[in-house]
Amino acid sequence: MIKGKLKLSIALLSVCTLSYGQNNIKLTDTQTDITINKHIYGHFAEHLGRCIYDGFYVGEANDSIAHTAGVRNDVVDALKKLQIPNLRWPGGCFADTYHWKDGIGSKEGRPSIVNSWWGGVTEDNSFGTHDFLNMCELLETEPYLAGNVGSGEVQELADWVQYVNFAGKSPMSDLRRENGREEPWNVKFWGVGNEAWGCGGNMTAEYYSDIYRKYATFMADWDNSGGLYRIASGANSADYHWTETLMKNIPNHLMKGVALHHYAVINWNKKGSSTKFSDEEYFKTMKSAWFMNELVEKHSAIMDKYDPQAKVDLVVDEWGGWYEVEPETNPGFLYQQNTMRDAMIAGMTLNIFNNHAKRVKMANLAQTINVLQAVILTNGKDMIVTPTYHVMEMYKVHQDAQLIPIELHSDTYKYGEEEIPAISASASKDKQGRVHISVVNIDPKAKKKVSLDLGGIKAKHLTGRILTTNNLREHNTFEQPNTVLPKEYKDAKLKDNQLEIDIPAHSVIVLELI
């Protein structure tokens, strides 16, 4: 347990029950030196269901879908519009069964493998290291490679680092050149295992921390610049002992980030439909999503105890909503639809990350295409984007912007005897001096009036965008791909340094002040 009240210099968030019309936001200090790291807006691509095959990758021989080296051009274009900063691969649970040398060389000579974690399907390894890293260059994003610690040996991971990063002459760099790549990719982000407490080996925190030190030691940083960003397999949700053990046992020079995984789930045994959910199921989902705020604060407090200068980052490299799969789909493929409920999860969660940007430096939505809270769905030649995609696109204005701390007083959204804040928000100032404020109302039925005090900010011009629908369960389909779209927002009034905002039920708004 964490005793005492956690104090954050980046944001003061107080929540109380207020009457309608008394939701207040105040921008408190525009001089903070905290940056909202763009890597908070990262994504995740696992060999799971149709995320890689039929999602990103359709194969070089495909003549019915436009592609570059087998990677769908429409997917590349859509993700570039999001300005995705990083992409995590190949897992997930799959990472600790993946042997990277199976996925290099001529595609005809690559061995087939069985994906024992996700559906028991056979894969031909046609999408491997070169394919992924070259795709990241197409996407103009940084790769985040998850290393195999569960079933792989130290030498295997050390060889992978050398293969993709070493420019000189060595066995692995020579092998890379034989396979058609002269220059190294210089991959910065490396996960040292995944979910070591579960599918990554069912280890104890004490055992994994020792294993981590061993693997991380042999992941050579060739020029001793500290360029490798090693990320430890972190806690499952509220396992604070795990974080405490890693922070206590692993020296800072071996670890740049500690991971955290948390999904918004109604009940792990009965997750509910992605589209036909009840009001009670909606509340439980949002309560689980809001729990992320407590998790970030408590894990950060532990990290502060051992690392008061914040040299080690909190990396939430799996987050999102998790429901039952769509009817008549493979249960191991985790394919689900994406409604305005998911937009609420995305907006609220990103506000939490933004407000805790002193410690949270990286995060990865799970997952990019056709899996869980995806931003893209594909069906043969067709591709659509989801409500979550639109939130990520609206929020990209916060990437690498200066955090503006806020004070927030919110109505509560109640269901039965339980309640959570109805309003969440975050604010930033970009390099051009533009101020952006993102506000979310998760209440499914009640609109909110929000008073916003700009503090010392002087603004002459106000614009805004809103994502909302008449029905919380609305979503985009291949037949109707534009049901949920952002629109211009005009229901905000600026007078001096005060804003009055009318925000409809279940809505996400991003304002820009110049």
Query: Which pLDDT does position 261 carry in this prediction?
Result: 98
- Domains of the chain with CATH codes: 35-404 (3.20.20.80)
Beta bridge partners of 450: 23, 501
Handedness of CA 238, 242, 247, 251 (dihedral sign): negative
Q: Mean pLDDT throughout 57-61?
A: 96
The chain-wide mean pLDDT, for the chain, equals 94
Q: Mean pLDDT throughout 313-328?
A: 98
Q: Which member of 195, 297, 393, 474 is catalytic? A: 195
pLDDT at 8 over 50: no
- Cα angle at 145 between 140 and 148, to 5 degrees? 165
Q: Mean pLDDT throughout 66-77?
A: 98
Residue 102 near residue 125 (C-beta atoms within 8 A): yes
Q: Which residues contact 417 (CB under 8 A, 6 or more apart)?
A: none
pLDDT at 19 over 60: no
Q: List alpha helices for 250-386, DSSP H.
A: 279-306, 340-355
pLDDT band of 420, cuts 50, 70, 90: very high
pLDDT band of 32, cuts 50, 70, 90: confident
CA 249, distance to chain mean position in Å, is 27
Tell me whether residue 500 is one of the annotated catalytic residues.
no
User: Cα–Cα distance between 343 and 505 in angstroms, integer?
Assistant: 12
Query: Which pLDDT does position 459 carry in this prediction?
Result: 87
Residue 196: phi, psi to the nearest 5?
-60, -25
Q: Mean pLDDT throughout 323-332?
A: 96
pLDDT at 248 over 70: yes
Q: Mean pLDDT throughout 326-344?
A: 97
Q: Which member of 142, 318, 393, 474 is catalytic? A: 318
Query: Which pLDDT does position 18 carry in this prediction?
Result: 31
Q: What is the dihedral of CA 265, 270, 276, 282, to 10 degrees?
A: -40
Query: Which pLDDT does position 460 carry in this prediction?
Result: 87
Provide, rounded to the nearest whole percent, the portion of the chain with pLDDT above 90: 91
Query: Which pLDDT does position 20 carry in this prediction?
Result: 42
Give the pLDDT confidence of 145-204 residue by residue, as tens digits: 999 999 999 999 999 999 999 999 999 999 999 999 999 999 999 999 999 999 999 999
Q: Mean pLDDT throughout 265-290?
A: 97
Looking at per-residue pLDDT, the higher value among 438 and 458 belongs to 438
pLDDT at 222 over 90: no
pLDDT at 509 over 50: yes
Tell me whether residue 178 is one of the annotated catalytic residues.
no
Q: Mean pLDDT throughout 454-463?
A: 90
Q: Which residues contact 244 (CB under 8 A, 6 or more apart)?
A: 205, 302
pLDDT band of 30, cuts 50, 70, 90: low
Give the pLDDT confidence of 362-376 residue by residue, as tens digits: 999 999 999 999 999
Q: Mean pLDDT throughout 300-308?
A: 97
Is the pTM higher than 0.75? The answer reads yes
Handedness of CA 476, 444, 44, 208 (dihedral sign): negative
